[in-house]
Amino acid sequence: MSDFKSDYQRYYGELKDRVIPFWLDHAMDHECGAYFTCLDRDGSVYDTEKYMWMQWRIVYMFAWFAMTDLARPELLPEAEQGFDFLTRHGKSEDGSYYFALNRRGVPSVAPYNIFSDCFAAMGAAALYKATGEQRYSDEANSAMHSYIRRMDNPKGKWEKTLSGRPPRLSHGHFMMLANLAAVMREFLGTEEYEEQADIAVETVLNRFYNREMHILFENVNPDGSFDLDSCEGRFVNPGHGLESMWFMLKYGERKHRPDIIARAAEIIKSIFAYGTDREYGGLYYFMDAAGKPHLELQWDMKLWWPHCEALIATLVAYRLTGDGWFMEKFREIDAWSWGHFRDTEYPEWYAYLNRRGEPTHSLKGGKWKTFFHLPRCLYLCAEELKKIGNL
């Protein structure tokens, strides 16, 4: 129990004393509204572009934490002003959200990606739970409906591929749908999206996981078959898989489905077996299911977010299954992550390391990193450790 208490204090303290203050001190755009996410090691701003995934993730996290014992007076007002800026400037004519805006809110990148809608739904839903204001619920449902509507053709008129490119089902779309439905249920108190959640979970577990190869694929053919003749078809993303599986574990817990918990736990073990770098430690970023060359040159890098998702997945799996393997794996990933990603001189963690675990970029936030994966990990891990240790 003493180890769990020490771990809990370490995770909670890192979030409360270092990560939250870093973003509150440096990310607020007091002149134009919303947030800066391109922050260097010391918190200085190196680009003022406002990427919508990153913006809405901050709204979500600020509103969520405002409802916890992490609450600070600034959190909820900063979430609300972010919402106002993003809904005023960020919506296209069809109700979907742009990918990026410039500092003053003029759209700079078309709404070609449905995850802008995904995180808008999450942010607005959290604000509704925190305030009870109907406008937030209305926006959450609007963005959620846009996400679901666009799943069959996510890029819409912005799609650049032609008929020679085979259609695919995307694991990311379905795993996020399962999580979105859970967020809507928790924060809006609605069962409207439960059927979509059921379908999403079934699809992830039964169509994207190849039982013979013990691999969770990112892309499958519409009929559920696997394409092993293309790089896209063989694409494996260990971090995505681990994030997806803790979504599945939480779903199984809520639905009282031990079969889903057991299946997700099995897949977590297979992801670690395939995605772990046995020479240098940590998890690979991208992999090829057949061990062929990967088109993405950063395939062997170590990124912060897959390791954050690994920490959550192992603790949730341990609590729900009691299998000591997951605690051993948590200890392994915990030691590697805190030993390589954490910046001991400045707050917040590095995002990008080379395969050996050495930082390649000084940034603490950017186009793809914001106040989301790390703080969510620190908070959820602290909560899991509290439950496991009966603290």
CA distance 270 to 266: 6
Chain CA centroid to CA 253, Å: 20
Q: What is the pTM of this model?
A: 0.97
Structure tokens at 301: 């890098």
Grouping H, G, I as helix, E, B as strand and the rest as coil, residue 109 is: strand
What does the mean pLDDT of the chain come to?
97
DSSP structure string for 285-320? S-EETTSPPPSSTTTT-EEHHHHHHHHHHHHHHHHH
For 156, which DSSP code? G
Find residue 50's DSSP bridge partners: 101
pLDDT tens digits, one per residue of 76-119: 999 999 999 999 999 999 999 999 999 999 999 999 999 999 99
pLDDT tens-digit readout, 155-212: 999 999 999 999 999 999 999 999 999 999 999 999 999 999 999 999 999 999 999 9
